[in-house]
Amino acid sequence: IPPSWLDKIAQKEFKRLADLLLSVELINDADIGHLALYCDAYSQYLSYKRQIKSKGMWIDGKPNPFILRMKDAAAQMRSFATDLGLSPSARARLAINLESDDDDDDDF
């Protein structure tokens, strides 16, 4: 169940990712806050993207300030995604770590 403080877009993404990540056992209850923060950044990113699309890249001859905000939200998403194993490289690192843990178990 997504946290109530997430907006509707973030809650929908939370449900989608939670189902996916739980099915492959990449997260557990301890990761819920982290997933919620990723989903919040995702929702913010989409909101900023809509603002840019609506107002354009330039406002009064200056770059739209939502461009920088969108960039910051994307950076937050990348950071949380890596921690949650949402990127291919993060999953590869997790697989290597899991494989090495399995090898260690053979010693006993």
What sign does the dihedral 38-42-48-51 (CA atoms) show? negative
CB 91 within 8 A of CB 42: no
User: Would you state the pLDDT for residue 1?
Assistant: 87
Lowest mean per-residue pLDDT among 1-5, 29-33, 70-74: 29-33
User: Would you state the pLDDT for residue 83?
Assistant: 86
CB 22 within 8 A of CB 59: no
Q: What is the mean pLDDT of residues 32-45?
A: 96
Q: Which residue has the higher pLDDT, 106 or 7?
A: 7
Task: Please give the structure tokens belonging to residue 84.
Answer: 């949650």
Q: Which residues contact 57 (CB under 8 A, 6 or more apart)?
A: 63, 64, 67
Q: What is the mean pLDDT of residues 90-99?
A: 61
